[in-house]
């Protein structure tokens, strides 16, 4: 039996780990898995509710790390996770994504000579100003199994000198979750509760520090939103980080005056998916949402200067617009006028990624 410890820390991690946990449970004679939640996101709507939505059992360990600087958060995770590893003595640690918890748990495992599997390996923005880029690169160097979502990720790893024997192109595990819970989302009533009509609203997410921690950047983005909300209703599940910054920067009255900008608390995965399914377009700085909109053929404007998921731009529905109000408005109005970007679903984004991962682990026991 292979003892596995899987790790989650923030919202996107739950959608990535849930299919793996579900698939591994089909092989009780081969694997024993424990789930660790680092607590990097600690708000109820951004954490606990995802366990309920995605049929995940209560985590075996909750580290309760909370907020802090990158170094402080990483250090706290490493200290707490080391105690878990010393107790469980796993054969393999599975990490997902690119957050501080991902790096911290990979590094702690490697120092204890425990093998690491990285789901969603090989993604690169080539922007070292992004903390996530460092997390991705270091985690991939330390990993023994690199499970990639796209062929460009494979090429990135090979260019960086990673052995081909460690690289496995398995597809996008977030699509496993989307496909599994799409029917459930379609029955959710949040669209009706908000009085929305199909394709008569846009969906907005903003949370990245480079967008919300600087007043000039946040002001620029909201100046574009102000124009856009005059054309279409915009639903904005506001991230706690952004809400705090809006108040800190004195933008509360300005944002509150936008009559067609509907602010909601953080939404569960099912609620957000329900709204995304029938949105006219999505504006986001989230990597995962770029992938989900590409799979669903929904136009997406990414409010960033780059992306670690270029496949969503190359063959998907994603357009990079940066923070320029003029560019955001130009592309958004272009879409609202019927000029929608059409895309294709990338290879192996088929709902079977977790199955491929587990099959590889079985073969390599």
Q: Catalytic amino acids? A: 207
Only one residue has tokens 């989900």, namely 292
Q: How many Cβ atoms are within 10 Å of 350's Cβ, its own excluded?
A: 16
Crossing angle of helices 287-296/173-186, nearest 10°? 60
C-alpha 147/C-alpha 353 separation (Å) is 9
**If you count them, how many residues does the chain have?**
365
- For residue 41, which of 12, 21, 6 has the smallest C-alpha distance? 12
Helix residue ranges, H only, the chain: 11-24, 48-53, 70-88, 100-111, 131-142, 151-159, 173-186, 190-193, 209-212, 215-228, 240-248, 252-256, 269-277, 287-296, 311-314, 325-336, 353-363
């Amino acid at each position: 039996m292979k003892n596995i410890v899987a790790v989650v820390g923030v919202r996107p991690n739950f959608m990535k780990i849930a299919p793996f946990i579900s698939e591994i449970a089909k092989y009780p004679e081969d694997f024993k898995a424990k789930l660790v939640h680092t607590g990097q996101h600690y708000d109820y709507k951004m954490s606990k509710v995802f366990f309920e939505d995605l049929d995940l059992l209560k985590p075996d360990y909750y580290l309760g790390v909370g907020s802090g600087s990158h170094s402080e958060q990483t250090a706290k995770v490493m200290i707490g996770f080391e105690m878990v590893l010393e107790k469980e003595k796993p054969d393999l640690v599975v990490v997902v994504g690119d957050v501080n918890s991902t790096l911290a748990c990979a590094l702690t495992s490697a120092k204890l000579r425990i093998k690491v599997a990285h789901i969603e390996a090989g993604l690169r923005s080539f922007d070292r100003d992004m903390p996530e880029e460092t997390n991705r690169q270091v985690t991939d160097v330390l990993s023994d199994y690199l499970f990639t979502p796209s062929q460009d990720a494979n090429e990135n790893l090979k260019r960086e000198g990673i052995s081909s024997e460690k690289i496995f192109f398995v597809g996008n595990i977030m699509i496993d979750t989307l496909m599994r819970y799409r029917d459930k989302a379609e029955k959710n009533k949040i669209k009706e509760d908000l009085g929305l009509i199909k394709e008569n609203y846009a969906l907005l997410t903003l949370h990245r520090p480079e967008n919300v921690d600087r007043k000039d950047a946040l002001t620029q983005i909201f100046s574009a939103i102000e124009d856009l909300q005059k054309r279409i209703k915009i639903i904005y599940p506001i991230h706690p980080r952004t809400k705090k910054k809006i108040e800190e920067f004195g933008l509360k009255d300005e944002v509150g005056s936008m009559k067609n900008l509907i602010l909601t608390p953080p939404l569960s995965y099912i609620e957000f998916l329900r709204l995304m399914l029938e949105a006219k377009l999505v504006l986001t700085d989230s990597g995962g949402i770029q992938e989900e909109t590409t799979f669903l053929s929904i136009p997406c404007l990414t409010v960033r200067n780059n992306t670690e998921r270029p496949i969503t731009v190359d063959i998907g529905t994603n357009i990079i617009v940066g923070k320029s109000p003029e560019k955001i408005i130009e592309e958004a109005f272009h879409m609202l006028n019927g000029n929608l970007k059409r895309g294709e679903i990338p290879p192996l984004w088929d709902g079977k990624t977790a199955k491929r991962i587990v099959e590889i682990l079985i073969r390599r026991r």
